[in-house]
């Protein structure tokens, strides 16, 4: 062993809440350990929160089990407390040491080979293999030293490493990868590299206050801003036009020197003044590093987490994974796992997980006396799609899901209710009322199977009412849990896909088809991803495939008089391509994806066979086709006589689709022919929601006096839900996407929403009533109070946390959305896309 | 698929109808309140013409009392719009419906109020009340005329730019002007300073309403500088040329801002007659009613 090699029983990598808590437990138990942290401070993720951020301690029912304390409070207080307690507990910490690799030093483990698939930009992939070796493990650190440990606890979170600059001079001290406070810099020439959201936001932040006199330049490799949100791009271009920011297009950084930076551009080299470089080129997720340690993930999916045993052990024996990296993104979970994992490593086999009481509460109203472990096992063995899960995954899965007993005849959900969750039947059976006019016509679904998958996949309303056919126990799997399930259990994904395709076809074509009739069609069916704007059917092409829109939406267009004319908007759950199959001939119109979509492609000839065998189906398909042909003929005839109106109709439709209406379920529009700019809509919104407005009437795009303000579209598949640590974003009973009280204010949803409709703010103090304002001028009057008033009237000593605020469609408020009710002129309207984009608009306008 | 029955828990809020149409406050429910207002006026007029009051129609007859009572109640209800607009209570009400009713019932007051007077006008508190009522109504008519025409123009002028953004770009041009003026001679720099120090929002209400730029310092300065730069070829590195360009940009932005503020002011200014006159009307009305009952 050389001088720089240290050895210990447990090496803990990463000093976030998970790693810290593990190290504290190890110190408490007197185990030899070392906590390795790549930065010069503890808990980098929390360290990087915005200054003064109120850190939240959710879920509140979960008890904290850790040697360190943690309660909701200011970032600074929490970090300060941990620093103190870590020092007091005698934790051995190595700062400024990044772990570069972890390798087993023991014998090769027979048959244990790790396959790593690396995907390249061009879509090809490469597979390499690693032979796993037994512990102890050797950890190579960035400071050149090594640590050998019997067990490794990996708690490196999910932040990953920022992508680094590679040009000459990239290691100079004025090159930084983070911007904490844009107000800190004055009188500087600053170059921001990277035109994603982070880069643009930084550049705008630095240039915002003219008093700082910064000269800000942002560097773009090409001409487009493909990875940034529309709102950010617009703000950036506006700032450029206003002369606040320079954009350096088609440029790559060639060299950095003190005071200067050189770019290679199309017209040769360009050298400009530069006192500081802020590189925001995204970060590489830690997956590559984790896999190189021999740790397998549950699937190739981006959402997948490492495959773990009930004691957090990964596929590399002796390496344990906890915290956000293991799929538990809340601080309390992280800390509890830190404690638990060290207990497990130390041989404690009887420790019950800290989330036990939460699960107990979930099962307490169910019939039959079972304890948590028994229930989990019962559900797992009873429900087909859960079979591939291990007990740890089951626990986590149940935390995001609910289970309920239903009496015979009880309604589980009703037709046309919104809902994006999936149901699974653990016991009993249910019946589906397939015909809305006659509830007595039902189709049974039995024990072990699933239902509600249409809502999960398309985000559309429930297609049928479902009733318990006998006493039943069903698990309602939230969308988040269902997505996690599909990414961690590939078999579950396939099962859900097959069932959903079959049912979608049955539901769509109805007409007395049974699943047996569909076997052949299903065998040819393929699910395809379609990116936004891509055409799936080209006018004039040969081809007879039928396409069923499974997710997203499509636009049908036809070339008339040399211009594409908008014919129809097809939401998920519709199909296209029937004309060529039924009537033969070439495609008569083009179909392209309005947003990122998924289609089921069905082989034309196979479908034709089915049509021939089922006259009823043929009749229905022919009727659908005739309706569409009439519509096409109508538009064509109008085009001759009302060419302008048709163009306008097409343009408006396309404008709306560009602005996200294609994925909206309910959107606020403002008719600028009527809007007098009184902002009563905003005021009403604020006054109906604790004083904060969730809508910016003036901002947003306008076409032909139709204005799409900055306000939530209640997307079919809300982007905002994607990465919410406490899972606080849900879809409510009226289809509204809302954020509940458990929001921790992390701002992920704000970053993920492509329409910039989420704001982070604290609830202002209560205002005096309207009458005292009208009569005595007390308080700030209707609408959102000014920041100044809120500040002056804040309750002293009470700190209110900033949370995510967005439109909830006035959920629970009788009468519905306040913005619409409060508009004096009728300019503000709420629409759902399929109705608003219908052809009737054209009929009316050309009438 | 696409056409589904309304959800059971669907909202009561008025939504865009399935044919994609929607109506503004004037057309609300196919002119329902216009019809009601017209019917009410016609009814009052017919009764007025049919009923024979001796010696002549006046506010003190039973018909006069009836019309007066309707008038007072209507006026109080019309005034309540100011409260309704700001009180965001729950319930299935729509301010658009209120405004629609307000406009047409308000107009019917011309008939009701005037018939109530029996055309007996004079120099007294009673006639004052009538005059004030007519003033409120006339200002209201002006109001709907701007409500009907200006929004399009405002939307067009705004061109997807918000007011905050307009003002920010104005500040930005100023900042650039300030920098660009550094290498200029003292005389030129003083000119630029004049433009920088100009108070864009000064000049009072009249200037804002007319959107006039007659006293605009920037325009004057630009003209003066243009006289010098106009004759010279633009070499691209003359600081005065740069200032000239910036001033031109500032003028364009200024005129957009002025137009925006002008539209906004026009959409609002009539309320400064409409509302105070309403309160004066209610005061005069009170005096009128009291004097009628106590001193008639
Ligand atoms: C803005 C924001 C606000 C949030 N607010 C809250 C909140 O209010 N309440 C809440 O419960 N949760 C909140 N979260 C989530 C929570 O912060 C994280 O889920 C949590 O910190 C994860 O803890 P962890 O220990 O797993 O990893 P992290 O906290 O990410 O810590 C990982 C540590 O490992 C280090 N590291 C990484 N790689 C290496 C390496 N190779 N070698 C050595 N060290 C390495 C990192 O520097 C870092 O210090 C928030 C998240 C964000 C982004
Ligand atoms: C005696 C009769 C009337 C009275 C007492 C009256 C009173 C009022 C009051 C108090 C308001 C509220 C203003 C505010 O708070 O913002 C108002 C608004 C308004 N009135 Fe009248 N009004 C009368 C007649 C009319 C008539 C005849 C018209 C139209 C022809 C009219 C058109 C309007 C309009 C358009 C508004 C603005 C609505 C808004 O933007 O919120 N009014 N009126
Ligand atoms: S907040 Fe969510 S649901 Fe609303 S527009 Fe943004 S992503 Fe869509
Ligand atoms: S309340 Fe109506 S008229 Fe007023 S700003 Fe809002 S949309 Fe425009």
Rounded to the nearest angstrom, the distance between the alpha carbon of A697 and the centre of ligand 4 is 8
Interval A584-592 mean pLDDT: 90
Res. B282: pLDDT tops 70: yes
Residue nearest to atom 6 of ligand 3 (CA): A753
CA distance A783 to B88: 10
Q: What is the mean pLDDT of residues A586-608?
A: 91
Q: What is the pLDDT of residue B6?
A: 34
Q: Tell me the average pLDDT of chain B.
A: 86
Of all residues in chain B, what percent carry a pLDDT higher than 70? Answer: 91
For the stretch B173-214, pLDDT in tens is 888 888 888 888 898 999 999 888 887 776 677 777 877 777
Higher pLDDT, B209 or A685: A685
The predicted pLDDT at position A584 comes to 85
Per-domain residue ranges of chain B: 23-158+270-295, 163-269
Q: Is B96 exposed, middle or buried (0-12, 13-18, 19+ CB in 10 A)?
A: buried
Cα–Cα nearest to A28, from A342, A316, A330: A342
**Whole-number percent of chain A with pLDDT over 90:** 46
Give the architecture (CATH level 2) of A175-283: 3-Layer(bba) Sandwich (3.50)
Tens of pLDDT, residue by residue over A759-791, are 999 999 999 999 999 888 898 999 999 989 998
Asked whether B24 lines ligand 2 (CB < 6 A), one says no
pLDDT reported for residue A474: 96
Q: Whose CA is nearest to atom 33 of ligand 2?
A: B140
Tell which A residues from 371 to 430 touch B, by Cβ distance under 8 Å: 414, 416-418
Q: How far lies A83's CA from each of A18, A24, A31, A63, A78, in Å? A: 14, 11, 20, 22, 9
What pLDDT does B3 receive?
A: 31
Q: What is the mean pLDDT of residues A37-49?
A: 93
Alpha-carbon distance A813 to nearest alpha carbon in chain B (angstroms)? 6
Separation between Cα atoms, residue A761 and residue A802, nearest integer Å: 4
- Cβ atoms of B19 and A838 within 8 Å: the answer is yes
Give the burial string for A127-150 (b: 16+ CB within 10 Å, else e).
Answer: eeebebbebbbbbebeeeebbbbb
A774, B151: Cβ pair inside 8 Å? no
Percent of chain A with pLDDT over 70: 98
Q: What is the pLDDT of residue A181?
A: 81
3-state helix, strand, coil in chain A (%, to 5): 30, 25, 40
Same fold yes or no, A175-283 and A520-643: no
Who's near A339: CB < 8 A, 6+ residues apart? Answer: A21, A22, A25, A65, A66, A67, A354
Q: Is A520-643 a domain of CATH 2.60.120.10?
A: yes
Please report the pLDDT score of residue B36 as a whole number.
Answer: 97
pLDDT confidence bin for A838, thresholds 50/70/90: confident
Which residues in chain B touch residue A844, judged by CB atoms under 8 angstroms apart? Answer: 19-21
Q: Report the mean per-residue pLDDT for chain A.
A: 89
Residue A147 tokens, joined: 């640590």
Please report which ligand is nearest the Cα atom of A757.
3
State mean pLDDT over B262-275: 94
Q: Dihedral (C-alpha) B111, B112, B113, B115: value to the nearest 10 degrees?
A: 80
The answer as to CATH 3.50.50.60 being correct for domain A5-160+285-345 is: yes
Verify whether the Cβ–Cβ distance B99 to A774 is below 8 Å: no
Q: Is A378:A370 a contact under the CB 8 Å cutoff?
A: yes
Query: How far apart (Å, rounded) are the C-alpha atoms in residues B121 and A846?
Result: 51
Contact B169 A241 (CB under 8 A): yes
If one residue of A37, A38, A44, A45 were mutated to test the ligand 1 pocket, choosing by the most ligand atoms within 8 A of its CB, it would be A45
Tell me whether residues B19 and A844 touch, CB distance under 8 A: yes
Please report the ipTM that was assigned to this predicted complex: 0.91
What are the tens digits of pLDDT across the range B5-42? 333 333 434 444 434 457 899 999 999 999 999 999 99
Task: State the pLDDT confidence band at A560, using cuts at 50, 70 and 90.
Answer: confident
B237 part of contact set with chain A, CB < 8 Å: no
CA A772 – CA B245 distance, rounded (Å): 52
- A171: burial class by Cβ within 10 Å (0-12, 13-18, 19+)? exposed
| Partner-chain contact B16 A830, CB within 8 Å | yes
Mean pLDDT of A148-162: 93
More confident site: A458 or A258: A258
pLDDT digits (tens, 9 = 90+) for A376-421: 999 999 999 998 787 888 888 898 899 999 999 999 999 888 888 8
Q: Given an 8 Å threshold on Cβ–Cβ distance, is B2 in contact with A574?
A: yes
Whether the per-residue pLDDT at A363 is higher than 70: the answer is yes
Q: Please write the tens of the pLDDT for every residue from A510-540.
A: 767 888 888 888 888 889 989 888 999 999 9
Cβ contact (<8 Å) for B20 and A844?
yes
**A270-321: pLDDT as tens digits:** 899 999 999 998 887 899 999 999 999 988 877 788 988 889 999 999 999 9
Give the pLDDT confidence score for residue B8 in this predicted structure: 33
Mean pLDDT of A217-232: 81
Strand partners, A306: A297
Nearest to B165 among A238, A701, A813 (CB): A238
A823 has a chain B CB within 8 A of its CB: yes
Q: Within 10 A of A810 (CB to CB), how many other CB atoms are there? A: 25
- What are the residue ranges spanned by the domains of chain A? 5-160+285-345, 175-283, 356-509, 520-643, 656-846
Q: Out of A484-488, B24-28, B74-78, which region has the weakest mean confidence (pLDDT)?
A: A484-488
A659: confidence class by pLDDT, cuts 50, 70, 90: confident
Output the CA A671–ligand 2 centroid distance in Å: 22
- pTM attached to this predicted model: 0.82
Whole-angstrom distance, CA of residue A543 vs CA of residue A681:
50
Is B92 an interface residue toward A (CB < 8 Å)?
yes
Strand partners, A403: A475
Q: Rounded CA gap, B139 and A440, in Å? A: 63
The yes-or-no verdict on residue A449 having pLDDT over 50 is yes
Looking at domain A356-509, its CATH class is: mainly beta
pLDDT over 80 at B153, yes or no: yes
Interval B94-106 mean pLDDT: 96
Q: Do A831 and B4 touch (CB under 8 A)?
A: no
Q: How far is B85 from chain A (nearest CA, A)?
A: 7
The reply to whether B79 touches chain A by the CB within 8 Å rule is: no
Q: List Cβ neighbours of B173 (8 Å cut-off, separation of 6 or more).
A: A242, A243, B246, B249, B250, B253
Confidence at A1, pLDDT banded by 50, 70, 90: very low
Q: Nearest ligand to the C-alpha of residue B74? A: 2
C-alpha count within 13 angstroms, C-beta hemisphere, residue A687: 24
Is residue A497 pLDDT above 70, yes or no?
yes
Q: Collapsing DSSP states into helix, strand and coil, what is residue A9?
A: strand
Cα(B97) to centroid of ligand 4, in Å? 14
Helical residues (DSSP H) of A53-180, grouped into ranges: 75-89
Q: How confident is the model at residue B2 (pLDDT cuts 50, 70, 90)?
A: very low
* pLDDT at residue A230 is higher than 50: yes
Does residue A846 register a pLDDT over 60?
no
Which residue lies with its CA nearest to atom 8 of ligand 2?
B79
B96 contacts chain A (CB < 8 A): yes
CA distance A546 to chain B (A): 17
As a whole number, mean pLDDT of residues A708-721 equals 91
Do A817 and B92 count as a contact with CB atoms less than 8 A apart? no
Tokens standing for A816? 């519905």
As a whole number, mean pLDDT of residues A662-668 equals 89
CA–CA dist A341, A308 (Å, integer): 12
State how far residue A271 is from chain B, nearest Cα, in angstroms: 19
Q: What is the mean pLDDT of residues A689-714?
A: 92
Report the residue of chain B nearest A241, measured CA to CA: B169
Q: What is the pLDDT of residues A184-213, one digit of tens each?
A: 898 999 999 998 888 998 999 898 887 888
């Amino acid at each position: 062993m050389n001088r720089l090699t240290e050895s210990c029983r447990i090496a803990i990598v990463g000093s976030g809440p998970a790693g810290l808590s593990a190290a504290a437990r190890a110190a408490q138990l007197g185990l030899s350990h070392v906590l390795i942290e790549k930065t010069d401070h503890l808990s980098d993720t929390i360290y990087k929160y915005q200054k003064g951020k109120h850190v939240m301690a959710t879920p509140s029912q979960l008890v904290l089990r850790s040697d360190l304390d943690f309660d909701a409070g200011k970032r600074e207080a929490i970090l300060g407390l941990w620093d103190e307690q870590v020092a007091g507990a005698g934790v051995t910490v190595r700062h400024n040491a990044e772990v570069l690799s972890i390798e087993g030093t023991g014998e090769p483990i027979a048959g244990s080979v790790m396959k790593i698939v690396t995907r390249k930009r061009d879509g090809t992939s490469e597979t390499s293999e690693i032979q796993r070796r037994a512990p102890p493990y050797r950890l190579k650190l960035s400071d050149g030293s090594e640590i050998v440990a019997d067990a490794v606890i990996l708690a490196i979170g999910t932040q990953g490493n920022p992508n680094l600059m590679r040009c000459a001079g990239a290691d100079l001290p004025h090159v930084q990868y983070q911007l904490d406070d844009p107000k800190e810099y004055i009188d500087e020439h600053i170059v921001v590299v990277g035109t994603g959201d982070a880069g643009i936001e930084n550049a705008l932040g630095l240039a915002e206050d003219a008093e700082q006199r910064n000269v800000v330049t942002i560097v773009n490799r090409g001409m487009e801003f493909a990875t940034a949100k529309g709102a950010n791009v617009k703000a950036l271009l506006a700032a450029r036009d206003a002369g606040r920011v320079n954009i350096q297009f088609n440029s790559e950084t060639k060299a950095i020197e003190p005071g200067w930076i050189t770019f290679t551009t199309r017209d040769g080299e360009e050298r400009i003044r530069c006192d500081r470089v802020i590189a925001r080129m995204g970060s590489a997720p830690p997956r590559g590093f984790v896999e190189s340690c021999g740790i397998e993930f549950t699937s190739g999916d981006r959402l997948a987490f490492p495959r773990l045993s009930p004691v957090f052990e990964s596929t590399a024996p002796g390496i344990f994974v906890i915290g956000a990296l293991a799929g538990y993104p809340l601080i309390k979970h992280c800390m509890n796992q830190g404690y638990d994992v060290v207990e497990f490593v130390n041989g404690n086999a009887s420790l019950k997980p800290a989330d036990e009481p939460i699960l107990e509460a979930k099962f307490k109203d169910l019939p039959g006396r079972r304890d948590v472990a028994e229930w989990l096992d019962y559900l797992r063995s009873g429900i087909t799609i859960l079979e591939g899960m291990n007990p740890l995954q089951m626990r986590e899965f149940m935390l995001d899901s609910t289970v309920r007993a239903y009496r015979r005849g009880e309604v589980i959900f009703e037709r046309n209710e919104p809902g994006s969750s999936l149901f699974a039947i653990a016991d009993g059976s249910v019946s589906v009322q397939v015909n809305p006019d006659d509830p007595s016509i039902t189709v049974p679904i039995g024990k072990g199977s699933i239902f509600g998958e249409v809502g999960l996949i398309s985000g559309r309303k429930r297609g049928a009412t479902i009733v318990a056919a006998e006493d039943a126990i069903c698990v309602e799997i939230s969308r988040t849990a269902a997505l996690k399930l599909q990414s961690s259990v590939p078999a579950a994904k396939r099962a859900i896909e097959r069932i959903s395709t079959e049912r979608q076809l049955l539901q769509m074509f109805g007409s007395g088809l049974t699943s047996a009739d569909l076997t052949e069609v299903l065998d040819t069916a393929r699910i395809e991803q379609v990116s936004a704007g891509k055409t799936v059917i080209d006018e004039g092409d040969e081809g007879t495939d039928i396409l069923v829109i499974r997710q997203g939406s499509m636009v049908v267009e036809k070339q008339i008089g040399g211009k594409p004319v908008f014919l129809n908007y097809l939401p998920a759950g519709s199909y296209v391509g029937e004309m060529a199959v039924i009537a033969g001939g070439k495609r008569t119109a083009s179909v392209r994806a309005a947003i990122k979509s998924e289609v089921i492609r069905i082989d034309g000839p196979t479908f034709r066979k089915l049509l021939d065998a089922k006259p009823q189906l043929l009749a229905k398909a022919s009727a659908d086709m005739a309706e569409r042909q009439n519509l096409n003929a109508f538009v064509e005839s109008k085009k001759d006589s009302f060419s302008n109106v048709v163009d306008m109709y097409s343009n408006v439709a396309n404008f709306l689709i560009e602005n996200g209406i294609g994925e909206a379920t309910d959107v606020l529009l403002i008719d600028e022919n009527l809007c007098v700019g009184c902002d009563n809509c905003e005021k009403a919104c604020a006054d109906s929601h604790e004083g904060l407005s969730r809508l910016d009437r003036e901002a947003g795009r306008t076409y032909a006096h139709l204005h799409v303000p900055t306000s939530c579209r209640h997307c079919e598949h809300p982007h905002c839900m994607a990465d919410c640590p406490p899972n606080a974003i849900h879809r409510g009973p009226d289809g509204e996407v809302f954020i509940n009280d458990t929001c921790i204010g992390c701002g992920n949803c704000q970053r993920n929403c492509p329409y910039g409709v989420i704001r982070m703010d604290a609830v202002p103090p209560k205002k005096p009533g309207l009458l005292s304002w009208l009569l005595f001028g007390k308080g700030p009057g209707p609408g959102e109070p000014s920041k100044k008033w809120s500040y002056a009237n804040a309750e002293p000593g009470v700190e209110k946390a900033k949370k995510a605020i967005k439109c909830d469609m006035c959920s629970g408020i009788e009468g519905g959305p306040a913005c619409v009710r409060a508009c004096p002129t009728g300019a503000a309207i709420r629409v759902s896309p399929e109705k608003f984009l219908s052809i009737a608009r054209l009929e009316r306008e050309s009438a | 698929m696409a056409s589904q029955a309304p959800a059971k828990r669907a909202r009561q809020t008025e939504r865009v109808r399935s044919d994609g149409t929607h109506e503004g406050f004037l057309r609300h429910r196919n002119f329902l309140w216009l019809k009601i207002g017209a019917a009410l006026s016609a009814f009052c007029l017919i009764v007025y013409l049919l009923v024979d009051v001796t010696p002549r129609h006046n506010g003190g007859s039973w018909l006069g009392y009836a019309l007066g009572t309707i008038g007072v109640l209507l006026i109080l209800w019309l005034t309540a719009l100011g409260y309704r607009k700001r009180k965001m209570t729950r319930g299935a009400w729509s301010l658009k419906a209120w405004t629609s009713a307000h406009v047409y019932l308000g107009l019917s007051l011309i008939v009701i109020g005037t018939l109530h007077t029996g055309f007996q006008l004079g120099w007294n508190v009673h006639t004052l009340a009538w005059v004030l009522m007519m003033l409120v109504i006339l200002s209201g008519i002006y109001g709907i005329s701007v409500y009907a025409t200006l929004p399009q123009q405002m939307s067009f002028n705004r061109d997807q730019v918000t007011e905050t953004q307009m003002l920010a770009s104005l500040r930005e041009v100023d900042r650039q002007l300030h920098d660009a003026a550094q290498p200029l001679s003292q005389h030129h720099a003083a000119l630029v300073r004049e433009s920088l120090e100009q108070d864009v929002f000064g000049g009072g209400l009249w200037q804002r309403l007319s959107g006039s730029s007659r006293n605009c310092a920037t325009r004057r300065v630009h003209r003066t500088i243009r006289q010098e730069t106009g004759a010279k070829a633009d070499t691209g590195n003359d600081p005065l040329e740069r200032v000239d360009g910036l001033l031109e940009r500032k003028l364009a932005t200024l005129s957009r801002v002025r137009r925006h503020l002008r539209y906004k002011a026009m959409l609002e200014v009539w309320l400064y007659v409409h509302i105070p006159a309403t309160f004066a009307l209610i005061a005069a009305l009170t005096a009128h009613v009291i004097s009628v009952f106590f001193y008639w």
